[in-house]
Structure 1
Amino acid sequence: MTRMTESLNDGAAMNERLADLLTKGGRHTPRFLFVSGIGIVAISILTWFGILDGPALLLFSLGAVLVLLASVQGLVVRPLAQQKKGILAYVLSSIFVLIASVVFVFLWQGIAPLAFLISVAIPLNAIRTAAARKYIPWFVILAVLIGAGVIAAEYIAAAVMRLERVQFNSSASIAGLAFLLATGFLLFTVTIITQNRNFRSLQGLLLASFVVIVTIPTVMATILSGVGAYANSQTQTFNTLKAIAGLKENQITLLIDEIRNDADKIQSNADFKQNLLAVINPKDGVPGQSSQNLSRARSFLIALQKEGDAYTEIMVLDNQGNVVVSTDAQNEGRNYETQLFYRQGTVKFFTGFATIPDFGEQNLIVATPLFDNNGQIIRGVIALRLDANAVKRIMESTPGFVEAETYLVDKNFAPVTNTRTRTQSVRSQAALSAIIDNIDGQGTYENYANESVLGYYKWYEPMQMAVIAEVPVNIVVASSVKSLAGSSLLALFVIIVAIWAVAISAKSISDPIRDLVQITESFTAGKYSSRAMVNRKDEIGALAGSFNQMAEQLQDIIGKLEQRVSDRTKELENQTLRVRVAAEIARDAASAPDLHKLLDSSAELIFERFGFYHTGIYLIDKSKEYAVLTASPTEAGKEMIANGYKIRVGDVNIVGRVAASMEPRIILDMDSKNQLMNNPLLSLTRAEMALPLKAGNRMIGVLDVQSDKPQAFSQDDIAAMQVMADQLAIAIERARLLEEVEQNLKELETAYGQYTREGWQGLGSRGILINRGYRFNNIRIEPIKEMPAMGNWQDKDSAKNSGNTIAIPIKLRGQQIGMISAKLKEGHNSRTISTLQAATERLAAALESARLYEEARTRADREQSISKVATAISSSTDYDEILRTTVREVGSALSDTEVSIQILENIDEQKIGS
């Protein structure tokens, strides 16, 4: 039963502690969670509109989770805690935080460590602050399960489900993390400050609170500004890269268009086409003029080549891929049927790079079908070849943005223009998206050199290539850092100014309170006139005004209390004085030689100590009819004693009434009660108090004190003076008893002395003393028949000297029974006499003991004789035998005595014969 009760008590205490932890320590948590959720939602909206980069939907989901968690904490957990269901509330809170952490881990890559710490910290905090010892294992298990849940969620999201998650490489995720950390630090700071009671000054508390509250948002704003600057720089970089890519595309398109115009010019020249067709098919020309037709066609192409001064070679191929005419006569007759430019050129307009050993270095070739005069039948391919450096110069030159790099990638993911780092293949995200999906786009990715870059890519259809423009991320970051450095310096300046302003504000708030504290301490130290300055209309001013009102009231109360204490102290002093006087009376009673001395000293003591006008002590006479004034230290009192002043018991006078009622009485004003005062000797009396002197239930007297001031006595004085009166009564009764005892002792000593004298006188009459004494003359002992002549020594109380002879009386109980006389040598001293006196005292005690023994022995013999006679008488039953036995036994007991017994015939006769 006891264990069950203890368990219930522990559970109730645990519920209460955890409830207090949630309601007091965690009362700000739902608000900060809600603010954090709204902040993440706002960041997702900015991402949606393209201001920040990142997955907007995922960020919105994370913000919604935080808002939902805040709602659950505020609507479910907190009400349970307020109902003192702390254990249930804490477990539910831990579960809800675990669910939120798992969702965060699923949606945000890299957030798992932070989620793990926050989730595990909740049950561990319960262990640290509120858990009883027997509950600790359960909270440890809860913490382990929560931590395992977060770790499992990270594993499932990363290794099993491979979910698309928020990455830390986007500006939106960085802004979201900064916002979460800032609100977390604010929550931690607010919780610590609200729960901390160790601040020694209000100014320190305000300064610490304001500095943290100002610094954290400022730092967060600076971080967000840096993130915004990075996002803005990123956006500008993407726009610049897009513009650069578009510019490169336009330049290449313009170059291709010029080449295409030359191809159209060749196609549209009737003379050239006629000569060319005659060369391709001699049947179409004049027989025998093939060489002239070839020469005229070549001359036209050479003229066109010189005119543009850009072409390396212009040639025409027939349907079998053979070069029929070329500005480079050495290439005529060569076959390029397998080359891409030929295959594509037979069906459509083609532009592309070609690396053909016959052509030397990389070349840009533009090919277009050659139609007959009707434009219906393809009779061959016109190919214009120029140096690829023209295109490379376009791609490699980025004036105004030297950090950017642009290049072309063909369908085989091979770079066709120079890259800053030589590579054989480009399989970056941009190349894959542009070549495989034929789409345009931008993003942050790793390029061909595994370097993180910002890139813009697009598919260039005319050349069937990807146009890619990139810039390293560190370049953008460096630009953002410069902007952030400026913002940080500005933020630092703002923080310093804010701290300075906060210090001034905190001082303006705390100084009046400090002054009020000092005034309060001064007031506490006893300076009750201290008052606060009321020069404000806010709460501090109201507090100062309230303090002043309280100080006024307290000063008034303290003044009254001090007066009451002073009055009470005087009363206590008076009571102490009365108790002291009572003690002195008791002391004097122990040392007073007689009753009259005691009464005189007591009356004098009371009169002197209390400064009364008159003090008198009355004693009740033996007839209990009058109270007789016996002692008084005043002149009037002494005159009254000399005149035999007395008051009848029951008289209208206050003394008479107290003597009759045995109750104390007070007259506070004699003017209104003159009928009670008829003593002209005490005409100045204005107040009088009479106290009964009682021994048990017996009235023995009255203590009368009078004052020449009206209202001089109170009911409290009666109680205090009555103690003194009781002590006086005890002393009087003790003195009376002592006198009676002394009188009885004197009478007893007289009677016992008389008995002793008669006893010693009887010794001689009974013949017990053979000699009257003995004398020793240093040779022998001689009996004394007659007393020596020392004068009338029988009446002396002490030793008598006559020359060298000294006589010392032997006394018992004041009765002289003998004397020791000694004739001393010349030059004896007082020590010799003292020795004789001490021996005399011991002799008297020894003689008395011997006498008492002799009396006891004689009494015992007499009692034995009486007993023997009584035994003999009681042994007979015959009348005559009884008389005979009695006469015989009595006569035997009283030797030398004639005894007779006679029975009277007439009882009225009173004669007895012997």
Structure 2
Amino acid sequence: MRFFRTSFVARLVFQFLIISVLGGALTALAAFLLARATLTRSVYTQLDSVATLKEDAMLRWLEHEQESLLVLSQSSQIASGLEKMQSATPDSQSYFTARDTLRTFLRSYRAHEEEIAEAFLMSPVGGEVLVSTTPANEGSYRTTDEYYTQGRKATYTQHFYPSPLTGETTVTIATPILNDEGTLLGVLAVHLNMDALNTILQERSGLGETGETYLVDKFNNFITQAQFGARAFPRGVHTVGIDTALSGEDGVGRYQNYLGTPVLGAFRWLPEQEVALLVEISQQEAFAPARTLGRNTFLIGAALITLLAVGVYYLSRQTADPILEISQAAQEVAQGNLTRRVHVALQDEIGALARNFNFMTESLQQSIEELEGRVAERTRELARRSEEIQTAAELGSAITAIRDLNTLLERVAHLISDRFGFYHVGIFLLDEHREYAVLRASNSPGGRRMLARGHRLKVGEQGIVGFAAATGTARIALDVGEDAVFFDNPDLPETRSEMAIPLIAAERTLGVLDIQSTQEAAFTQEDIAILRILADQVAIAIENARLFQESQQALAALESAFGESTARAWQRFLQHSARRGYVATSEGLILPLRPDGAGKEEPYRLSTPAVETEDPTVLRVPLSVRGQQVGVLRLKKPPEQGRWRQEEISLLQDLSEQLGLALESARLLEETQRRAAFEQITGQITSRIRASLDLETVLQTAVHEIRTALNLPRLSIRLAGTNGEQNVPEHP
């Protein structure tokens, strides 16, 4: 003690050492606490980022499966198979054949989609399982299942519910199957395999050794596989994170997990899926760097104090400053500044912490940028696809009203080229022998040259057009490898990619839509899906144009035949009628045209109203019935009223058409009345003849009634016997 009292240096050193030790200890403690707080915020940020990535991965998985189901539902094989099953009786061979074909098709789809546990088709009414990749489920009913009732209206996803068949949690996606008229043929649904979701959530990237991600449904049951399942928690699993998330709140915090282990966790409620997503890591692992930092800081500080007292303060400052910078950087990162970096040149633990912090921030920034990039790319892709589908729909609407086949084909070729910007669009139709695909329309100069020389391709032998026409399937040719041989066409020298889509209507190939681009590898399978919609509309429009032309020709033939029949009827009528027409005079008299020639007017053969050359005041208007002239309307104006005006001629032409219809109706009525009278007389004579069974009485009655009815002066009936003719007395 005396030494410390007498020696200023010793006292100063002692006091400085005491202060330095206390300062060093306090500095180490502060560094530990600050690092722990910083790490806590950093871990929260990382956990929240992992939760975002896991949620995005899960949603992309569900979206992928939904898109895959929609593509499957567009297959014509499913619609045609359902139509065949509906048109056949359940015990017929055609019904079993269609069912087996659909089952094979669904199994093939399931073999390519490992995430599918079961694919099945349900009836449009009643929810009966018609076809399933699990035959044991066929014949069961899903009438009240939510995915069936909603899937009949539109594509619907029933998220995370206990399957009534297996009792396991599952996800089901359903979509309606419609025919071309929009009639519901059935409902296509798939049960998803939860193993894929387990793989996504159990991947521990960025979560260390104790990190875990899992889903809990609204009944506090595990959805994805965890370390312990529902059997360990018969009343449901409850933690602060789970209960808070199930109440609809998102957040982070420190709590004990379902095993009682203290953890740091990020939790959020996914309302659309009605599940809670939790990402957790043990506090022991999360705070290990902070403990290591505090311990090393204290030891380094104590060693340096013994060597140099001044170095204690300097070392404490060197130790504290980087940690403060890391803390400040962490705060800025937490506020959204992901470009913030810690500039520490030390190579010790603090330097390692700074580098790890920089690496973590850079990884987080990279992940968010990649996520934003994928979202932007997906958005652009969806916008492009949406625009292509909208364009295809607009083109389909534009061509449906065209009835002339040549006009239709020319219009389609130019519309597709203008809307999609293709270098060449050609439309080939099969000839009547279905041996050649003949070019019928094109938009490009080279295509018009090929049209001029009657360009055609052998079906099944020449180019991808011949391939598509023979197989009924679309094909893409690229300017690489074996496909390069298709582009040796001097009329189209700039072609680098080509796509041929068959034009199919009523399961019959009508031709091929040939599209060429100046870009290499310009087409994908998704382009085929979009343009196939347009090709189907074009095929229907072509078929409608052909049917319209055929119906027009049949209608013209029918009208011609009907007109000729009407003309013959009028000829017979005029031959047996004494009425040839009437004349209205200026004195108000109406005089008949007599067949003896007095007052008779010879009818003109006219196709349109005509003014007489000799007398411009006289107008002759044809009277026509169904295109056949049956008379002439002759009109004369007073000379002082001048020539006939066009509006007067048009009015008289309309009146002559109405007069022709009225005359035809009167003729038909008169003819009907004559036939009715004839039928009445025939019936009366027949009934009187049949009134007696005596041969002589029957013959005498027949002679009398027929002569009286026809007003004949004499009538006889002769019967031929074995010895020659036998005369029946004639009726006087």
TM bracket, shorter-chain basis: 0.3 to 0.5
TM-score (norm 2): 0.47
Q: Considering only CA atoms, is the larger Rg found in Structure 1 or Structure 2?
A: 1
Give the TM-score, by structure 1 length: 0.38
More helix per residue: 1
Q: Which structure shows the bigger proportion of residues in strand conformation?
A: 2
